[in-house]
Amino acid sequence: MYHIKLVNQGVTHKAGGGETLAQACADAGFPLDLVCGGRGTCGKCAVVVESGGTRETVLACRTIVDRDMAVYLEETQLSRAAAIITEGRTAHKLALSPAVSKRCFTRGELMPGHCGAYLETGSPALLRSFSRLIADHSVGEITFVSYRGEVVAVEAGDTTSMLYGGAIDIGTTSVVLYAYDLNSGKLLRTESTLNGQIVRGADVISRILHTQQAEDGLDELTGHIRDTVNGLLAAAESDIPGYRAHLYHLVLCGNSTMQHLFLGLDPSGLAADPFVNVTAGLVRCAGAEVGMDMAAGGRVDFLPLLGGFVGADTASVLLTLPVDERRCLMVDLGTNGEIAAGGGGSYKVASTACGPALEGGNIACGMRGMDGAIEKISIDGDALSFRVIGGGEAKGLCGSAIIDAVAELRSAGVIDESGRLLPADEFRAAHPGSTLDQYLGEAGEYNPAFFFTRGEQSVYLAQHDVRQIQLAKSSIYSGCVALLEASGLALEDLDALYLAGAFGNYIDVDHALEIGLLPPIPRERIVSIGNGAGQGVQLCLLDSAQLDRCQALPASIEHLELATSPRFMEEYIMNMNF
C-alpha cells in the first residue's frame, strides 16, 4: 500500500499500486482532465511529484504508482470546475402536460364490490406495495402515480403536492440537470457539472477505445456517467427536500456514444464504418434499470438518435426550431460537431469530427472556460488586450479566446493565409514599424508562437495549435457545405443559421466567419440559441405531446455520412486555409 499525498488539497490517499497516478488522483476524488484519454499525448496531466527528496514533473496518466509520493495538483488541472451553459431558447411555448401524474383516493373510494379486486392489473412490485398499504388500516388515503396512463407506484397518504421530474442533457464534456415541479411546471433548480467520463478522454473516440481496450472499460464509463447524474440529483435535493423520493420522470438526451454508455450498451459499432448504433429509437425504462436514484417506479426516457454519431442531443435541438417553411442551417458546436439543414420539420443531418480543439483540447495552453482562462482577445493596431475569467492571472486559453486569437493574428498578418505563424524576423521584415514582434518567440524547437503572457506559466498560441484549429474549422465549414448541397440548398437560400451548444454561445461570430469556421451567411441571419439540447429535453419533460413529437422526429430526418462523402472530402481540403 502506497501513500499519495495531494499537498494542495490536504488529502492523503492510499493506493494499492499498479494503477496510474491519474487513476489514484481520481480515486481520491480529484480527477484530472485527461484530454487524450490517458495516451500521454496532450500533456494536460503533467504534475509535479516529490519522492525520496526529489521533485520532478511527470505525466500522471503514464506514471505508475510504485512508491509513496507527494503530488502538487493545481486547481486548473482538475476536471470539476468550468463554465457550463444551461440556458437556451426555443420557438415553442412551454405547455404543461407531463407524462406522469398523481391522484389520491380514500379507502372508501377504493373499496371494490363483493368478491371484487382493488386493482385490475399491475406489476408484482406495484401489487406488493399496494397490498401492504391497503392492509394497514392506519393508512386512510393512498396516492396513485401514473406514467402515460399506467399506474407505476402507490404512496401512503395524500402526496399529490410532491411530483418532480428532471430533464438531463448529457454532453461529452458537461452534464446539466433541470429539476422541475411537475404540478406547477416551475423550474426549481438547475444543476451542472463536468461529465465524470472525462478521466478517460475529452472526445467520444477516446472513450469508445477505452471500452475496447480495458477489460472493465464499459462498466467503468457507464458507472461514471450514472454517478455524475446521481450526483446532480443529490445536489438538487439539497434545496428540494424529498426530490428524489418523489422523482418519477427523467428525460435524457445525449449524443450516440453518451446514450450507449449511459445505458451500458457496447459502443463498438460506432468505432468503424458503417458506424452503427445498438438501437436508435427512444429508450423507455424504469429508473432502477439504469441505476437512477429516484422513486421506486420512476421512469426514464432517453430521446431517439438520428443516425451514426448524430444523437438525441441533436434531436432535442431540432425540437426547439420553428415548424414552418423557413430554411435553416443548425450547427451545434461543442466537443463534437452536429449539423442539420432543412426546414418545415424535415432535415438532413450529419456529424463532423472537429475534435476537442475548439474547446481548448489538443491546444498547448488550452483549457476549459474556468477561472484563469483567457476568454476574449483583441488586437487594435499594435495594442494587445485580453480578458481573463475571474479577473486573475492568465493560465491558458479557452475555446472562444482561441478563435479570437486566430482571427486577430490573421488580421494583423502574424498568421498568413496558409495558416503559417510567422517567426519574429520574418514578421518584422513584412511589417516594419509594428511592435507585435515583441510577442513572437518559440515554444519548443521549430514551433513559432505568439505569447500573450511570459513567465513561469506562459500563455501562448503556437504553430501546432493553429494547425489544429485549421483541421477543426475546415471540418465544420465543409460539413455545412456538403450538407446544404445534399439538401438542395444554397447559402443564399437560408433564412437563418442557428448556433447551438456551449461553444456556439460564447464565440465571437464575426471572428468565426473571418477564419472560415462558419459559412459566409449575413450576420443578421445568425442566431445563437444557447443550450438548445437542454431546452428541447425540458420541452419533452413538461409536455408529453412534445415527447411524442420527438419520438416521431427520426421519420422526417435523413442522415448523411460525411466520412464517405466525396463532396465533403473535396471541401475539407479546399477550406483548410484562412
What is the tens place of the pLDDT at every residue in 416-463? 999 999 999 999 999 999 999 999 999 988 899 999 999 888 999 999
pLDDT at 522: 94
Q: How far apart are CA 495 and CA 397, in angstroms?
A: 33
Report pTM. 0.84
DSSP states of 455-479: STT-EEEEHHHHHHHHHHHHHHHHH
Residue 286: exposure state from Cβ atoms within 10 A (0-12, 13-18, ≥19): middle
State yes or no: cis peptide before 274, omega within 30 of 0. Answer: yes
Q: How far, in Å, CA of 443 to CA of 459, rounded?
A: 10
Q: State pLDDT tens for residues 17-71.
A: 888 888 888 877 778 777 666 777 777 788 888 888 888 888 888 888 888 888 8
pLDDT tens digits, one per residue of 265-309? 999 999 988 889 999 999 999 999 999 999 999 999 999 999 999
> Phi then psi for 474, rounded to 5 degrees?
-70, -35
The number of residues in the chain equals 578
Spatial contact of 299 and 276, defined as CB atoms under 8 Å apart: no
C-alpha cell at 90: 426555443
Please report where in the chains the cell 499537498 appears, as a residue: 7
Give the pLDDT score at 53.
Answer: 83
| 159-179 residue pLDDT tens | 999 999 999 999 988 899 999
Q: Looking at residue 343, what is its pLDDT? A: 86
> How confident is the model at residue 8, as a pLDDT?
81
pLDDT of residue 85: 44
pLDDT of residue 356: 67
- The residues facing 527 across adjacent strands are 498
Grid cell in block for residue 401: 479566446
**Domain 192-302 coded CATH 1.10.3720.10:** no
Listed residue (223, 220, 272, 246) closest to 101, CA to CA? 246
Asked whether the beta carbons of 203 and 361 are under 8 A apart, the reply is yes
CATH number of 2-77: 3.10.20.740
Calculate mean pLDDT across residues 501-516.
Answer: 86
Q: Tens of pLDDT along 514-550?
A: 999 999 999 999 999 988 999 999 999 999 999 999 9
Which pLDDT score, from 0 to 100, does residue 93 have? 62
Q: Domain residue spans in the chain?
A: 2-77, 192-302
